[in-house]
Structure 1
């Protein structure tokens, strides 16, 4: 009779007869699944789940039904629109065998058969996915060329998915050309890239190209709403619209923002939380600031800008918000479709504003704010540049409407003098849409004078008093025009005299002029220069003139550098000496002579 010590467990662990039996160990608990971000968790598993790419899905479906499959596909588009997901879906569609194992290629893969599950999990031996960013050389492509000769192990097609294919080297592309043009019948190539312009045309001509579009914000918002429902999280519709707008057509970017917003909130996601998380300016504050600009209240407008800056809102975000408001007013004027990201109060304010502002006023306001946004992006001091841009808008709002001026000049009427306002309106005291159509003419007086000079004027009646003199120019504009150098050459000489000789020397020797219109200057360096050149020049000009300049380095057509101009002038001078009759006679009399030195005065006197 076997004793306890004779049991295998007792013998293996050396237990004695006097030891009590050991309790059975519990089975280990199943390991908890690690958290997957929403962008991976809700990756499309079928073409029906692929949003915003209906044209491509229809083309692929027809090609599969008619057995007109290309041997190479190229998916291009911005990040997060589904390029790699589409490549994997095509791989499943071509290799799906159906639940019963007898199916063929289909646009609706079953996601049940072994090939579908293996491809979805990234473990199928015949579906090779390669990142061209880390496999850029000829040797990596040579491995593919050697492997395509062998048939697929278990799948219908051997498929190579190359992501970010534009990162391959030139030699790697050339090595792939022959195989890509005439691959074996069992091989398919699927390429994905965000920069199709970097892919050689010889590769593009061998592929069937699909341009994946940006996903509309409305579809993204609906998709994010469904994801929120599946996650059991309450998200406000306005918050979803803000996330969809911030995603800029990318489903992955939007899901990443939604993931962050869910973690940021507690139990739900509100529009205020999304704005705070993304650093977006409050829409109500933007509308209030726009009202202050239209009312001409400079102090309150600057205080509003400073308040939003203190809350963490970037100056560029404030100007973008103002541009969005102006765009909303324009859409309201033309009767566009309502934006789901706008609240009811916002749409009502835009509609009222649209009824009071003319198209010309709104378009000029858009141009001025757009110019201000460009200055903020390039300025070394963004907040100060934003303040100057807002002050420019307010200053322009005090100028008369050029259309009204031309009409009065054509009728021979005297021009009225606009008296200065007694006091600016209090912030928020007037409704936002109370600005008159002439509130933002935004046109320089110099643009009116030439047209006005060509119009006939009538003799004023003797009884009428003489017209009052025009209002004095703005002190800021007068100071800027007096302080700004008249030309690019004068600017360089002024910088050299004001303690910036090194910067002046760089501009003189190595920078050609593209455009000079104070307070704007565009230059083209003729050789690689330090990235601090634009910043240093902007700071120097601000200290020189007291005004923020827009300084840019461009690649367009430019004048020769001042050094090149001086050399060309010296060469022309020397050639004029050589072409003079006296010098020609001297060279004829003394063959082999050279012109060592000369002075132009002596040559002219001779």
Structure 2
């Protein structure tokens, strides 16, 4: 019995000519012109992420350099015939003068020395001996140094093709000896178009939305897209449908994301938790869910600024336009920021579902509470219970001001006071103590005293001002410091100010406490930025590195 086997789509659909190559027109144009004009460099470097065509281009170049045509008398060409011995053997992987070397497993100086020693000999049965070194950034420094001279002035019959996914690790001495081409990531529409051609030729039925999901999951790699399509064909065992693809990948339907945003718009916490529970029952990836939610929010934000950015062929186009109207720009920006910064925190949660649910509740809790302008032009009033936050704490006890009390100078702003305090005091008579302490030209211990106090009583009369302040640190209230603080206040208001200091805990926040809180928030933001940094995440993943707690400082 003969067992029938078939090649993977990524192999059977590997381009054989430049005309079949997808998404790299800028590279194809440069190489075809060089081949047609006979102006060839001796070394090329192709950079780009996995699955974008680096090895494919190298093989096509090797065929173009050595093609002899179907009649055996052809010359170097940008359109290899695919029928001559050189083309057929290169496609089959057995052409003796085309050598592919994996630098990840042959990275030492001895490996490079052996390769360069063979380069001195003429090709066996070809115009050029072509060396293709894949993942060249994996070579050691000694190996790079060993190939410098040969790479700069190779024999006339030798061509070098280098490929890497990380050009930053290649020494500049190597880069300067090569023509460098950066291969682009494949955009989703281009991947979808190519997959449609492949599945049509393979006689496989599919849904267009299923191909979009596969293209997004490929993250710019055509090889990954074809491999995922292979998996989807086997998984679906019939029509490659969107439901089957999402089930295979563990991704969620956009309907879940729309439900989440609708629940946030309606401030329905129960609906948010119900959606998270339903996603958990279907074993969906919550990390991918946050990534997809970030992508949807980006489209909504773009629709609010540039409405024509929403394409009609998007299945979610109608929901994007509707949410762009129902959500304010501030809300969209806030939800986006929370979604991207919460992904690293999922690993710290008891489980991913708990972390995801807390992320949704955080979005609900931190929605802008002040009056905001909708995308459609309407306004949303603040909640009835919301009251303006006082810029300075109201006094615990304070005698009512006399009729002779004079208003303060215009340079001092009047704070808002709670309604209960307004019955016994006039907020306009009191200075903004926080702002005032920052304005005073005092330094050293006097500044420390000013920053550690809260205004208790401000009795203003034509004869002068009697100010009573409270501090939890009486050791700062020396006679000299209090006197210098009174002198600074006298100079500021242009009338005598007498300062009385009492020991006690402050009811509000001193300037020092406010500064400490701001510093703490900056440090936490800095820690979140470090945790979300892709380079730091790569270090943690590859080397097991850890960020020392408390070591991050905000600039």
Match of 1:499 in 2: none
Cα RMSD (Å) of the superposition?
3.6
Separation in 2, partners of 1:556, 1:107: 57
**Correspondence for 2:317:** 347
Match of 2:116 among 132, 135, 145: 145
Measured in 1, the distance between the counterparts of 2:347 and 2:387 equals 28
Corresponding residue for 1:130?
101
For 1:184-217, what per-residue CA distance to the aligned partner results, in whole angstroms no more than 9, with x for missing partners? 0000011111111111111111111110000111
Residue matched to 1:13: none
Query: Alpha-carbon deviation of 1:363?
Result: 1.7
> What residue is the counterpart of 1:162 in the other structure?
133
SS in 2 for 1:189: strand
Give the conservation status (yes or no) of the 8 Å contact 1:361–1:440. no
Please tell me whether the aligned partners of residues 224 and 240 of structure 1 are also in contact (alpha carbons under 8 angstroms).
yes
Distance in 2, matches of 1:115 and 1:446, equals 80
Aligned partners of 2:200, 2:339: CA distance in 1, in Å?
Answer: 40
Q: For the Cα contact (< 8 Å) 2:205–2:239, is it kept in 1?
A: yes
Q: 2:182 corresponds to which residue? A: 211
Query: Which residue is equivalent to 2:235?
Result: 264
Residue in structure 2 matched with residue 303 of structure 1 by the alignment? 274
Q: d(CA) in 2 for partners of 1:100 and 1:300?
A: 72
**Shift in Å at residue 557 of structure 1?**
6.6
| 2:40 maps to 1:57 | no
**What pairs up with 1:507-546 in 2 under 5 angstroms?**
516-517=520-521, 522=527
Aligned-partner Cα distance in 2 for 1:39–1:396:
46
CA contact (8 A) 1:160 1:189 kept: yes
User: What SS class does the counterpart of residue 96 from structure 2 fall into?
Assistant: coil
* SS in structure 2 of the partner of residue 268 of structure 1: coil
- How far residue 341 of structure 1 moved from its aligned partner, in angstroms, is 7.4
Distance 1:519 1:205, change over 3 A: closer
- What's the offset of the Cα at 1:359? 2.5
Counterpart secondary structure, 2:5: coil
- Change over 3 Å in CA distance of 1:159–1:253 after alignment to 2: same
2:357 corresponds to 1:387: yes
Unaligned 5+ residue runs, structure 2?
393-410, 425-518, 531-536, 541-545
1:474-513 deviation per Cα after TM superposition (whole angstroms, max 9, x unaligned): xxxxxxxxxxxxxxxxxxxxxxxxxxxxxxxxxxxxxxxx
The one of 286, 305, 310 aligned to 1:315: 286
Separation in 2, partners of 1:91, 1:448: 75
Number of residue pairs the alignment of both structures matches: 421
Specify whether residues 437 and 367 from structure 1 end up closer, same or farther in structure 2 by C-alpha distance, changes over 3 A only. Answer: farther
Residue 164 (structure 2) aligned to one of 193, 197, 217? 193
Do the aligned partners of 1:79 and 1:250 also contact (CA within 8 Å) in 2? Answer: yes
User: Residue in 2 aligned with 1:246?
Assistant: 217
Deviation at residue 380 of structure 1 after TM alignment: 5.4
Alignment partners' CA distance in 2, 1:287 and 1:347: 11
Helix, strand or coil at the partner of 1:69: coil
Name the residue aligned to 2:299: 328
254-263 or 311-320, larger mean C-alpha shift: 311-320
Q: If the length of structure 2 is used for normalisation, what is the TM-score? A: 0.69
Q: Does 1:98 align with 2:69?
A: yes
Following superposition, the deviation at residue 309 of structure 1 comes to 1.3
Instruction: State which of 349, 357, 360 in structure 1 corresponds to 2:327.
Output: 357
Three-state SS of the structure 2 residue aligned to 1:86 is helix
1:297 deviates by 1.3
CA positional deviation for 1:154: 0.6
Structure 1 residue 183, shift from structure 2 partner: 0.4
CA 295–230 in structure 1, closer or farther in 2 if over 3 Å, else same: same
Tell me which moved more, 319-328 or 375-384: 375-384
1:75 counterpart SS class: strand
Distance 1:437 1:182, change over 3 A: farther
Structure 2 residue 346 is matched with structure 1 residue 376: yes
Aligned-pair CA distance for 1:326: 1.6
Q: Give me the whole-angstrom Cα distance separating, in 2, the residues matched to 1:363 and 1:448.
A: 27
Q: Trace 1:406-485 onto structure 2 (pairs within 5 A).
A: 438=380
* 1:236 equivalent among 199, 204, 207: 207
How far residue 558 of structure 1 moved from its aligned partner, in angstroms, is: 4.8
Q: Would the aligned equivalents of 1:99 and 1:113 in 2 still touch at CA under 8 Å?
A: yes
Q: Contact 2:148–2:174 (CA<8 Å) still a contact in 1?
A: yes
Contact 1:119 1:127 in 2 (8 A): yes
Distance 1:341 1:402, change over 3 A: closer
Give the conservation status (yes or no) of the 8 Å contact 1:127–1:161. yes
Shift of 1:221: 0.4
Q: Cα gap change, 1:353/1:291 in structure 2, threshold over 3 Å: closer, same or farther?
A: same
Structure 1 pair 149/59, CA: closer, same or farther in 2 (3 Å)? same
After superposition, the C-alpha distances for 1:82-109 in whole angstroms (9 at most, x for unaligned) are 1011111110111111112121111111
Residues 117 and 438 (structure 1 numbering): CA distance in 2 closer, same or farther, change over 3 Å? farther
Match in the other structure for 2:5: 34
